[in-house]
Chain A
Amino acid sequence: MTSELIVFLVLSLVAIAAALGMVFSRNAVYSALFLVLNFTTVAVFYLLLGAPFIAMSQITVYAGAIMVLFLFVIMLLGVDSLAPSKSLPWQKPLAFSLAFILVVESVYLLISRAQPNMVVTAPDIAVNSMDNLREMAMTMFNQFLLPFEVTSVLLLVAMVGAIVLTNREKVGRK
C-alpha cells in the first residue's frame, strides 16, 4: 500500500507540474508537449487503479492521435511562440468567477461526501481480467448502443463539415 501511495504522490506532482507548464509556457509546441506528459501520467493513474484498457485507450487516443494532430496544426500554422497578445477584456473576470464556483463546488462535495469511515477501494481483480473487456464491450454495444451510434454520427458530421468547408474554399479560388 505504501509503495502505491509513493507512486501516486510522485505522479500527481508530475501531473500538476505538467499542467502548470502547459498553461504558463509561451511556446505553443512546449505547451502541447506538456499536455502530452499530463495525459500520459493520467494514463498511469488508470493503470494504478487497475484499468489497463482505459489507460491504453487514453494514451492511444489523447496522447497519441489527438495531440499529434494538435502539434501538426501548430507546426503548419507556424504559431510557435505567442506574441504577448491583447487578451479579451471580459475573459479574466469570467475565468476567475468560474474557477471560484468550481472550487466552492468541489470543496462542498469533499466535505459532504467524505465520511471518516468510508474507504475508497480499488476495483476488484475482475476489472483486470479479460472477462471485463468482454463485459465492457457487451454493455457498450447492447445497453448503450444508441448513445454510441449517436456519438459516432456526431463525429461523422463534424468530419463532413470540415471537408465541406475546405472544399468551398477551393471552389471559390477557381
Chain B
Amino acid sequence: MDWTLWVEWIVKGFVLCLILLTGFAYLTLYERRALARMQIRVGPNRAGYQGLLQPIADAVKLIFKEELTPAKVYKVVFVLAPVLTVVPSLVLAAVIPLGTSFTFFGRVITLYVANLNVGVLYLTSIASIAVYGIVLAGWSSNNKYAMLGGIRASAQMISYELSLGLCFAIAIVMSNSMNLVDIVNAQKGMWFVVIQPVGALIFLIVTLAEVNRAPFDMPEAEQELTAGFHSEYSGMKFALFFMAEYQKMIVICMISATLFFGGYREFWFLKDTFLSVDRYWFLAPIYLLLKVVVLLFFMIWIRATWPRIRYDRLMAFGWKVLLPLSLVVLFITAAGILLEQELHNSIYFYSIPILSIVCAMVAVVFIYRDLRRKSNGRV
C-alpha cells in the first residue's frame, strides 16, 4: 500500500479530532452566551473579546482541579467509563462527509475520513456502543443516585434507538443507499426534509433523547439525582463526560444535517449557480458548518424554554408515540417511492409529505386528548 495514503488518513483523522475538540470548547461558550441572551443576562464576556478565551480558561481550571476517586468504587470500570463515553463520540464522525474533494499537489484528497458502504449501519452500531460508558459510570460509582441515573440513561437510549434506526431507514429508502456520501448526493435536487418533514422532526426529537439533552435529560436530573451517573466524578474525568456530551451534540447535528438537510450541499435551488459545491469545493464545509450551527441553536433554544418531561411520560412518548409514528412514516415513504417507480406517476411521490403530516397531526391530537383525560380537562 502507498505510504502517502497512510499519511493522508492519519492527517485527516487528526484534523477531524481537532475540529471536534475545538468545536466542543466553543460550543460551551456558544451555549452559555445563547442561554444568557434568552434569559436576559450577559453571560461570560470577560476573558478575551466577547469571552472568546473563556473555553481556554475553563480547560485550565478543569485540568488543575483535584481528582477524587471514592474508596468503594469498582476502580477499573470507574476509570474506563469516561473513556468509553468519549471514544464513540469522536469515532462517530469518521464516516460523515464534510465535503467533496480537492486536488493537492496532484493528489485528489476527499473530505471524509472513511467512505463506508455501510455508513449508516456504522452510525447505529457506534451509537449503540455509546450507552456503555454511561451505564458503567453509574454502576461503578457504587452510589444509588449514580446507579439510578445509569439505569435511566440505558433505558432511555435503548427505547429511543428504535425510532432512531427507523429514521435512518427513511433516509436509506429515499436515497437508495447506505453510503452517507450517496445520501448527500441524492439530496442534490431536493432536501429530504422537504419530502419527509415528519421523519426529520422525529429524528431531531430522538437525537435530543440520545444525547440526553433537555427536555430529555433524565439521567442527570439534578433535582432528583444530584448529578446522575457522573455524581462521583470530578476533575478531568468529569470533563471527559462533559466533552463527550458536547461532541455528541455536534456529531449528531452533523448526522441530522447529512441525512435530512442536504449535508454539505447547498440549498437545492442554488444547485446550478456559482454557489454550488460542485463549482468551489471549499464551500462545502462552510455550508455544513452553517447547518450545524443552526441545528445546535435549536438544541440550545429547546433547553432554554422547555421543562424536563416526567420519566414515565418520556418512556410512553418513545414507545407509544414516536415508534408507531416513525413506522407509519417509513411505510408511507417506502410505499410512495415504490408506487412512483412502478406506475410512473409523481403524484404518489408528492403524497408522501402530505400523508406523513396528516399522520403526525393525528398523533398530536391523540396526545392532547390523552393529556386532557389524565389531568381532568385542565390542559
Contacts and interface: CB of A to CB of B under 8 A. Distances in A.
A80 B131 CA distance: 19
A79 interface: no
Nearest to B162: A65
Contacts of A12: none
Contacts of B155: 72
A16 B132 CA distance: 22
A106 B124 CA distance: 36
Contacts of B151: 72, 75-76
Contact of A29 (B118, B139, B177): B139
Nearest to B128: A64
Contacts of B227: none
Contact of A133 (B74, B77, B118, B161): B118
B132 A75 contact: no
A137 to B, nearest CB: 11
B15 interface: no
Interface in B125-140: 125-129, 131-132, 135-136, 138-139
A52 interface: yes
Interface of B: 74, 77, 116-118, 121-122, 124-129, 131-132, 135-136, 138-139, 147, 150-151, 154-155, 158, 161, 177-179
Interface stretch (A53-61, A85-93, A146-154): A53-61
Given A29-B136, A71-B132, A72-B135, 19 more contacts: A30-B77, A52-B118, A53-B121, A56-B118, A56-B121, A56-B124, A59-B125, A64-B129, A68-B132, A68-B135, A69-B158, A71-B154, A72-B151, A75-B150, A75-B151, A129-B117, A130-B179, A133-B117, A133-B118
B75 to A, nearest CB: 12
A142 to B, nearest CB: 15
A35 interface: no
Contact of A130 (B117, B135, B136, B154): B117
B275 to A, nearest CB: 30
A36 interface: yes
A95 to B, nearest CB: 29
A63 interface: yes
A25 B97 CA distance: 42
A128 B122 CA distance: 15
A68 B161 CA distance: 12
A52 B128 contact: no
Contacts of A68: 128, 131-132, 135, 154, 158
Contacts of B74: 29
B126 to A, nearest CB: 8
A26 to B, nearest CB: 13
